[in-house]
Amino acid sequence: MKDTAKHQGLRNQLVSVLQEKGIIDKNVLEAIRKIPRHLFLNSSFEAYAYQDKAFPIGAGQTISQPYTVAFQSQLLEIKKDDKVLEIGTGSGYQTAVLCMMGAKVFSVERQNELFKQTSALLPKLGIRPKHLTFGDGYKGLPGFAPFDSIIVTAGAPFIPQPLMAQLKIGGRLVIPLGEEVQIMTLLIRKNETQFEKHELGEFRFVPLLEDKN
């Protein structure tokens, strides 16, 4: 679990790349500057960990490209102690970014292998989400709702109704929508029944699957 000055230098370069691509949220940039992304990857990818690329992490899943992580995190407009629901814990890198930004993170992962791996890794890095669970992301976590914001880290064909229900009024839901290519979609809950929708460009994600594995 080594994190060296060289790694830090590569992270600083990555932050510069993200700023050039339009990421301006200082909390997001600071989190990416601090978190050792190479420790979330298979060691064979360590040399590439700070390139702006996605990589496989096992169970047919990927660790998202840093720009995508930063873009989604920025859309959430996180304030300290916000309750954030994350659908798709994956490697735990996005979870770590949210925690570092001061959020109380509740995260759901449907792949048992990844859930076990990430549950063991995060505490070793001093990262403590409020709640990690193995389960079906489509259902959210009604027992902990409502949430200040919800982030979905996999492509979804539609917006799961339970997630909309678990968002508090004024809250933000960020979800990549679509089959082959996804449109990053932001929903802002205006009141009990109305949501304001923004579409923010194309991204590519692994699919959000229903049920547990």
Distances (CA, A) of 114 to 18, 131, 135: 27, 15, 12
User: pLDDT for 114-145, tens place per residue?
Assistant: 999 999 999 999 999 999 999 999 899 999 99
- % of the chain residues with pLDDT over 90: 77
Farthest-apart Cα atoms in the chain, separation:
50
Give pLDDT tens digits for 84-116: 999 999 999 999 999 999 999 999 999 999 999
State the alpha helices, DSSP H only, in 37-189: 66-76, 93-100, 112-124, 161-165
Query: Which of 88, 79, 108 shows the shortest CA–CA distance to 171?
Result: 79
Q: CA of 122: how far to CAs of 35, 52, 91, 115, 158, in Å?
A: 11, 22, 9, 11, 30
Dihedral class, residue 92 (left if φ above 0, else alpha if ψ from -120 to 50, else beta): left
DSSP state for residue 21 in the 8-state scheme: T
Nearest to 82 by CA among 103, 68, 64, 52: 103
70-84 tens-digit pLDDT: 999 999 999 999 999
* pLDDT tens string 44-72: 888 889 999 888 887 777 888 999 999 99
Q: What is the pLDDT of residue 213?
A: 45
Contact status, residue 14 vs residue 70, Cβ threshold 8 Å: no
Cβ-proximal residues to 42 (8 Å cutoff; 6+ apart), any chain: 55, 56, 57, 58
Q: How far apart are the first and last CA of the chain?
A: 28
Instruction: For residue 199, list its beta bridge partners.
Output: 185
Instruction: Assess whether pLDDT exceeds 70 at residue 195.
Output: yes
Is residue 44 annotated as a catalytic residue, yes or no? no
pTM above the 0.85 mark? yes
- Mean pLDDT is lowest, of 50-59, 186-195, 200-209, for 200-209
**Cross-strand bridge partners of residue 207:** 155
Q: Give me the catalytic one of 64, 91, 107, 149.
A: 64
